[in-house]
Structure formats: structure tokens, C-alpha cells
Amino acid sequence: MTELDDIPTPQGQLTLRLVASRHDTNFYGDIPGGWLTYYMDQAAELAAGHEAGGRTANVAVEAMDFLCPVRVGSTVNIYTAVREIGRSSIKIDVQVWIRPPFEQNVDELYKVTEARFVMVALDESGRIRAVSAAERTP
């Protein structure tokens, strides 16, 4: 995916932004990894759908490590970057960065996780279809 930087910054386009709510937490007050993965998948689907010009589905996710917990009230920012477009598949890097609640520096973000999502274009019947250059939007 991305190379490690001395001062890491989000890579890609901001695709989703949401706030971690109390009803989203586990028993310890943290946001579970499954909650984050769900929204990462939605962001990947939005980015892939834009490239495919329609419906897409997730067929694979590469390894994901969680670097820090997400607490209630954190602003969750999900970035996407299209990395490769194949005949019917689209590989998208997805990163999650947060701003913890009550953070004084509004520009300070902390990286939580990243993964590569592999999406495929689907037709109206749910069958895999080709992603042609004509169907992609600029």
C-alpha cells in the first residue's frame, strides 16, 4: 500500500466522515473493528461505483491492522484512492483517520487502519460485468 512517512498524512480523497456515537461502542466504550470495516466497505463501494459507473460488490479485503482505539465522539474520516482498474475489478486503498473528541488542534488526525479493497462491477442481474473506459466517470 503506502510507504511509511516521517509525518504520515491521509492518502486519497475524503469519501466519508462520521461521528462515533455511544450506541456504536463495545462494552469498554470503544468502537469495534467491525463497525469501522462496515464503513470502510461503504466508502470503497462509493469510490468503485463512481469508477464503474454503477453497482459494485466487495470480493476481497487485504489484511488490516488497528493502530489505535476509536473512542465515542471521535470524528472518523475515511479516505479512498483507486489503485488499479482491471477488466471487471477495481482495487481501492481505504484509510481511516480520526480526530479524537476535544482535540484542540482541529488539523491533528490519527491513523487507525488501512486496507486494500477489491471490488467488482455488477450488472442489473448481479453478475460480474466489465468496467469499460466509456462507463467510467472523470
Looking at the domain assignment, is residue 126 inside a domain?
no
Query: From CA 57, how far away is CA 126, in angstroms rounded?
Result: 9
Of the pLDDT bands very low, low, confident and very high (cuts 50, 70, 90), residue 134 is: very low
Q: Is residue 130 part of a domain?
A: no
Domain that holds residue 30: 13-121
Burial classification of residue 9, based on how many CB atoms lie within 10 Å of its CB (0-12 exposed, 13-18 middle, 19 or more buried): exposed
The stretch 58-80 carries a mean pLDDT of: 94
pTM above 0.85, yes or no: yes
Residues 117-122, mean pLDDT to the nearest whole number: 96
pLDDT in tens, 3-14: 555 568 999 999
Residue 111, domain CATH:
3.10.129.10
On whether residue 76 sits in a domain, the answer given is yes
Mean pLDDT confidence for 87-100: 95
Number of domains forming the structure of the chain: 1
Q: Given this model, what pLDDT does residue 48 score?
A: 96
Residue 100 counted as domain residue? yes
